[in-house]
Structure 1
Amino acid sequence: MKAFLRFLSFLFLVAAIFLGVLDSIRSVSTSSVSIAGILSVWNYLLPASRTMVEAALAHYIHPEAWRFVETALAALPAFAFFLMLSLLCWMAGYRKHKAIRRLSV
């Protein structure tokens, strides 16, 4: 399980670096700062799942609950989101190494 979490952390890190490079290329080409939000990446990769999550939040929590989630996700850059997921998976899959006892007999 720890190996899987470390591999998943690596994949999230690669995705974060990829999105950061795309943001920097877009920023240089437009001569202004351009950062992709997590909602735009979500809409591009899985457009049907966003409507499913919106409907589930409206049904199970409150019809206006999606508005709060949407404003929170709109303010979050995609590369930062994937960096956060990478860090969380790395921390969950971290393996503490045993100390080498040099003076033990």
Structure 2
Amino acid sequence: MLKFLARTLGLLLVAAGFVGLVIDGARSIVNNVISFTSVDSLVGLVMPGGVPGLQSRVTTGLSPWLWDALFVHLLQLPASVTAFFIGAFLLWVGQKSAEPIGYLAGR
């Protein structure tokens, strides 16, 4: 059941990453400048409180140095590429195990 959820979420994230890449590409063509939607702006749209709310949760729940060392850099990545890579990782984790070579069922 857990592998099914990982595959489903991975497929949705890969599809969302592709759609985001198409939208960012169309925006870049129209504006004649390469531009990507960052994870920072996506968090501001999806999460109540935006990045300051996320920062307060990370610094109180985990550690203040973790925010400066990791999350500041992760929030600057392109959202479409990040979603694609996380989705690909979830698809890899949730893949079905391969049949052993030379195994005969029923014997």
TM-score bracket, normalised by the shorter chain, equals 0.7 to 0.9
Q: 1:8 to 1:18 in 2, by over 3 A?
A: same
| Amino acid in structure 1 at the alignment position of 2:98 | H
The corresponding residue for 2:89 is 88
Q: Percent identity?
A: 19
TM, length-normalised to structure 2: 0.78
Aligned pair in 2 of structure 1 residues 56, 9: CA closer, same or farther (>3 Å)? same
- Matched-pair contact (CA < 8 Å) for 1:37–1:73: no
Q: Distance in 2 between matches of 1:49 and 1:32?
A: 26
Is the 8 Å Cα contact of residues 6 and 89 (structure 1) preserved in structure 2? yes
Unmatched tracts of structure 2, length 5 or more: none
In structure 2, the residue matched to 1:17 is 18
Q: List alignment gaps of at least 5 residues for structure 1.
A: none
| TM-score normalised per structure 1 | 0.79
RMSD over aligned CA atoms reads 2.6
Provide the rounded CA distance (Å) in 2 between the counterparts of 1:102 and 1:10: 30
